[in-house]
Structure 1
Amino acid sequence: MINFRLIRHLWLFLAVAEAQSFSGAAKRLGMSQPPLTEQIQVLEQALKLQLFERSRRGTRLTPAGAAILPAVRKFADQLQRLELAVQEAAAGHANLLTIGAISSTMLDTLPLLLARLKSEHPSLTVSVREIDSAEAVPLLRSGDIDLAFARLEGELGPDIASTPLAEDRLAVALPKTHPLAGLPRVRLASLAHEEFAMFSRQVSPVYFDSLVAACHASGFSPRVLHEVRSVASQVAFVGCGQGIALVPASLKKLAPENVVVRPLKENLKVITAAIAWNTARKHPMLDAVLHAPVNAPPPARRKRAAH
Structure 2
Amino acid sequence: MINFRLVRHLWLFLVVAEELHFGRAAKRLNMSQPPLTEQIQILEQSLKVKLFERSRRGTRLTHAGAAILPAVRKFADQLERLEFAVREAVAGQRSMLTIGAISTAMVEVLPSLIVKMKATHPDVTISMREIDSVEAVPLLHAGDIDIAFARLEGELGSGIQTIPLREDRLAVALPKKHPLAGRTRIPLALLAQEDFVMFYRHVSPSYFDSLVSACRNAGFSPRVVHEVSSVASQIAFVGCGQGVALIPSGMKKVAHETCVVRPLAKKLSVITTAVAWNQATGNPLVEAAIAAIKDS
- Structure 1 and Structure 2 fold alike (TM over 0.5): yes
Residue of structure 2 equivalent to 1:162 = 162
Query: Identity over the aligned pairs, expressed in percent?
Result: 68
Q: 1:52 to 1:202 in 2, by over 3 A?
A: closer
Residue of structure 1 equivalent to 2:223 = 223
Structure 2 distance, partners of 1:168, 1:29, is: 46
What amino acid does structure 2 have at the position aligned with 1:100?
G
SS in 1 for 2:284: coil
Structure 2 distance, partners of 1:141, 1:203, is: 18
What amino acid does structure 2 have at the position aligned with 1:231?
V
Structure 1 distance, partners of 2:154, 2:67, is: 38
Structure 1 distance, partners of 2:241, 2:21, is: 40
Residue of structure 1 equivalent to 2:39 = 39
Residue of structure 1 equivalent to 2:278 = 278
Q: 1:187 to 1:87 in 2, by over 3 A?
A: same
8 Å Cα contact 1:113-1:295 kept in structure 2:
no
Structure 1 distance, partners of 2:285, 2:254, is: 33
User: Which moved further from structure 2: 82-91 or 251-260?
Assistant: 82-91
List alignment gaps of at least 5 residues for structure 2: none
Structure 1 distance, partners of 2:277, 2:22, is: 43
Q: How far off its partner does 1:72 sit?
A: 1.3
Structure 1 distance, partners of 2:151, 2:103, is: 11
Residue of structure 2 equivalent to 1:76 = 76
Q: 1:197 to 1:23 in 2, by over 3 A?
A: closer
Residue of structure 1 equivalent to 2:86 = 86
User: Which moved further from structure 2: 133-142 or 99-108?
Assistant: 99-108
What amino acid does structure 1 have at the position aligned with 2:151?
R
Residue of structure 2 equivalent to 1:305 = none
Structure 1 distance, partners of 2:30, 2:177, is: 56
Structure 2 distance, partners of 1:208, 1:60, is: 35
Residue pairs, 1:282-301, within 5 angstroms = 282-292=282-292
Q: How far off its partner does 1:27 sit?
A: 3.1
Residue pairs, 1:1-307, within 5 angstroms = 1-55=1-55, 58-292=58-292
SS in 1 for 2:181: coil
Q: How far off its partner does 1:107 sit?
A: 3.0
8 Å Cα contact 2:99-2:126 kept in structure 1:
yes
Structure 2 distance, partners of 1:134, 1:282, is: 23
Structure 2 distance, partners of 1:35, 1:20, is: 16
8 Å Cα contact 1:113-1:294 kept in structure 2:
no
Give the TM-score normalised by structure 2. Answer: 0.90
Structure 1 distance, partners of 2:17, 2:214, is: 46
Give the TM-score normalised by structure 1. Answer: 0.87
Structure 2 distance, partners of 1:224, 1:60, is: 33
Structure 2 distance, partners of 1:16, 1:205, is: 34
8 Å Cα contact 1:112-1:294 kept in structure 2:
no
SS in 2 for 1:37: helix
Structure 2 distance, partners of 1:196, 1:294, is: 37
Structure 2 distance, partners of 1:151, 1:266, is: 22
- Show CA shifts across 1:168-204 (max 9, x none): 1111111111111111111222222222112232222
What amino acid does structure 2 have at the position aligned with 1:188?
L
